[in-house]
Amino acid sequence: MPALTRAEAHTRAHLLDVRQYTIDLDLTRGEEVFGSTTTVRFTTREAGDTFVEVRPHTLHRAVLDGHDLDTAALAEGRLPLTGLTAGDHELRVEADMAYSRTGEGMHRFTDPADGRTYLYTMCFQTEAPRVFAAFDQPDLKAPFTVTVTAPEEWTVLGNGTAQRVDGAPGRWKCATTPPLSTYFVAVAAGPWHTVRTEHAGIPFGLHVRRSLAPHLDTDATEILDITRACFDRYHRIFDEPYPFDSYDQAFVPEFNAGAMENPGLVTLRDEFIHRSAVTETQRQSRGMVIAHEMAHMWFGDLVTLRWWDDIWLNESFAEYMGFQVLADATRFTDTWTDFAVNRKSWGYDADQRPSTHPVAPEPDAVPDTATALLNFDGISYAKGASALRQLVTWLGEKAFLAGVNDHFARHRFGNATLADFVDSLTRASGRDVHAWADRWLRTTGVDTLAHRNTTDEDAHRWNLEITHTGNRPHRIAVTPYDLAADGSGALVPRDPLEIDVAADDDRHTLTADGPRPDLVLLNDRDLTYAKIRLDETSRRTARHHLSALPTPIARATVWNALRDTVRDGELPPAEYLDTARDNLPHETDNAIAAGVLGFARNELADRYLAPQRRTAALETITHTARALLENTPSGGRDGGGGARLTAVRTLIDSTTDPRELRAWWDTETLPGEQPLDHELRWRLLHRLAALGAAGPDDIDTALDADPSATGTEGAARCRAALPDPEAKEAAWQAVFDEADTLSTYGLVATLQGFWHPEQRDLLRDYVPRYFEQAPALAARRGEAVAQALTHYGFPRPFTDPDTLTAGERCLAAPDLTAALRRGLTDALDDLARALRVREAH
């Protein structure tokens, strides 16, 4: 199906006004297809031609204004509508649609735990025509009425409240919605386990497959408490009340995204319903996703982008509000620390690759939907949210929210652009937000703020010189810290300095009272988006006293500075590891501990250090994890804030002695007396399999004990990890077999198990096979599989020039899909960066 171009969408929006969709789905036609009948009423402003998108298994009939259309005219998902006269029209399309195994369109899943089947839609961006015929672009909004026929024992959920139809077993009708974009239409059907309540006169529901019922029941109180708290907070800060008739959250299987903001029926990946022990950081992340998707009910659903160049209007806003509202309304008050460590680095990394783009690209930079899909990345989410946080710092929260409310009032149930949003902010604040937006949202790359400190001759005053590389203005806090006079190693803050660094100011200087501090932290509180460089004195202090910084956000800012300095080849990876060894055992914030250990394990040990230095690096990481475990008391909501669980996970992933790992497996006793639950059992077995200390019988026994979807994926991951030529070839064939029987989740699990640095000799011949076979698989199976191939399938253990050369040769092919080309570009850039770091040290 060809990508819809911006020009085509503009032409069609000028021609049409869509009045109403009526959709009838029949989910009782077997395991391969479902019935879809669409009636769409629309008005043409003048005579003309257009097309409707539909991607059927079989197109049975299409009727326009009572006259049958030639179904053979359907080509590449487009059915021509020619000779339209000005005035009202009705189009009816009857088709059988194919179920999906890749999480796009109508996804069908049969739970291996109990054999029950569940269906849900993912209509995002271009996938609605896999479910119903549509004028599929965001600025042709219309009300939707959906009816569904399903097996009698099933429950059906939709954007509007769904009710059984009296006298018609298995028949459901959803309440007609307000005007929606086509990509928001949602249906979920199956024998769901449901927890319901009501809040502020709105019905709330939580839904999972039956095999997860006990785990939802355990978590339902927390999830609903967060949902109610965020709902109330949004009603305090937004003038527009919640604009839909219900609020359901369906935790669905094999979901590609974290969640999808379908109005009234948010779909979330069901990994958020925890089967095993989790950290407070993981619970906070789930809460942030809940808050993020709820923000979309206003920003995205009530007011929708006009075209996909403005996806940041949806995602950056929801990302910012998700972290801020969760901090304001719930017990998770340190959300911005997690953002700094685990989300912001996503934006920094994406913004330094060749594929970078502005937060808000120029209109001609997003000419079609295929290009737009690539921009759902760390820039549109993390960088955009960082930019908004800096905007709030500059405008003040009151003026910012006043502008947001003005935007909602002017464009409710309509579409809007960046210019519209900035106009509202300018009216509310009286400031030139357009100039700010040009600097922040229309540019690419990461600014760098560095500093140098000197002391006056009389030692009673010190001088700070900030060097600014970049083109954006920054409002930052700068905090000087002194080592405590009592020799305890504590870092004592002085009063922070509030500084404005102008866009064209490459050097900013000031003088302050007192001797030169032991550590100066630019961007304390992490209020702007820029790489930070520590001066030599500050870096030496951080080397031994980083854990003594009094606030988690300050520590996160320093860890990010060290991470960026490693990635830029300016700090030896070994020094980062030594800093972690000396400081991380005293860390009290799990988001920081998990982020630092994850970077050390996955980037430093596996990529930035040469293979012969890997074992020593893993020993340092395991030493650090053991010390963190020993220093963190048990107890509390999740056993030491999660640091103990983070330490145990790191020990499993990093321990190189298979005898020690096998002893943990055989005795079912982990360090720190951590219970060996489902998640840790599969993690441990995966590591054992990769090291050759577990075999097929162990995997079969584990799967017998946990025959769930998670267990099935865990078994596939472990089988692919076995250091056996036959096991590797079987895993490879499962991924690249043209029968395409693997779901996206099954494919991801197999790829996660395949590549291991310990198995380089066994895997070497698969590197050229990857570059030969990945393009065809991506073209055959679509964007989700293409993303999995480059994110999980890229041969990361082979960080060498030969792999780079082979990848660049593959990238030069003219017929790569856009998603594979983007993912491969990023993976090769990361590889080249790792080689530069190795060369530097």
Given this model, what pLDDT does residue 565 score?
Answer: 98
CA distances (Å), 42 to each of 64, 65, 67, 89, in order? 11, 11, 16, 5
Provide the mean pLDDT of the chain: 96
Question: For 69-87, what is the mean pLDDT?
Answer: 98
Query: What is the model's pLDDT at position 635?
Result: 66
Provide the pLDDT for residue 297. Answer: 98
Q: What is the pLDDT of residue 234?
A: 98
pLDDT digits (tens, 9 = 90+) for 127-172: 999 999 999 999 999 999 999 999 999 999 999 999 999 999 999 9
Q: Between β-strands 16-26 and 33-44, what pairing exists: parallel, antiparallel or unpaired?
A: antiparallel
Helices (H), 330-417: 335-338, 344-351, 369-373, 384-395, 397-411
For residue 459, pLDDT beyond 80:
no
Q: Is 384 exposed, middle or buried (0-12, 13-18, 19+ CB in 10 A)?
A: buried
Query: What is the per-residue burial (b if ≥16 Cβ within 10 Å, else e) of 676-698?
Result: bbbbbbbbbbbbbbbbebbeeeb
- CATH class of the domain comprising 305-441: mainly alpha
- At 2 the pLDDT is 87
Among residues 293, 587, 713, 783, the one annotated as catalytic is 293
Q: Which residues of 611-649 are buried (b: 16+ CB within 10 A; e: fewer)?
A: eebbeebbebbbebbbbbbebbeeeeebbbbbbbbbbbb
Which residues neighbour 248 within 8 Å (Cβ) at sequence distance 6 or greater? 157, 204, 205, 206, 207, 264, 265, 266
pLDDT surpasses 80 at 270: yes
Helix (H, G, I), strand (E, B) or coil at 398: helix
Average pLDDT estimate for 376-385:
96
pLDDT score at 825: 98
**pLDDT value for 454:** 84
* CATH 1.10.390.10 residue spans of the chain: 305-441
Q: How does residue 640 score in pLDDT terms, banded at 50, 70 and 90?
A: low
Closest CA to 284 of 255, 315, 323, 321: 323
In CATH, what is the architecture of 6-275? Answer: Sandwich (2.60)
Answer yes or no: is pLDDT of 487 > 80: yes
The predicted-structure confidence for 717-749, as pLDDT tens digits, reads as follows 999 999 999 999 999 999 999 889 999 999 999
Arithmetic mean of pLDDT, 703-708:
97
Is 293 an annotated catalytic residue? Answer: yes
* pLDDT at residue 636, as a whole number: 53
- Summarised one tens digit per residue, pLDDT across range 100-136 is 999 999 999 999 999 999 999 999 999 999 999 999 9
Backbone angles phi, psi at 616, to 5 degrees: -65, -40
Residue 739: predicted pLDDT: 84
The number of C-alpha atoms within 13 Å of 739 and in the hemisphere containing its C-beta is 4
Q: How far apart are CA 257 and CA 686, in angstroms?
A: 24
Q: What percent of the chain has pLDDT over 70?
A: 99
pLDDT at 746: 97
Consecutive H or E run containing 808: helix 801-811
Q: In which band, very low, low, confident or very high, does the pLDDT at 641 lie, cut at 50, 70 and 90?
A: low
548-600, pLDDT tens digit by residue? 999 999 999 999 999 999 999 999 999 999 999 999 999 999 999 999 999 99
State the amino acid at position 15 in one-letter form: L
What is the C-alpha separation between 477 and 410, in angstroms, rounded? 35
Q: What is the pLDDT of residue 372?
A: 94
Q: What residue ranges of the chain are covered by domains with CATH 2.60.40.1730? A: 6-275
Average the pLDDT over 802-809 and give the result: 98
pLDDT tens, position by position, 421-448: 999 999 999 999 999 999 999 999 999 9
pLDDT tens string 586-622 = 999 999 999 999 999 999 999 999 999 999 999 999 9
How many percent of the chain have pLDDT more than 90?
96
Is this model's pTM higher than 0.85 or not?
A: yes
SS3 675: coil
- Using the predicted structure, report yes or no on whether residue 457 has a pLDDT greater than 70: no
pLDDT confidence tier of residue 820, bands split at 50, 70 and 90: very high
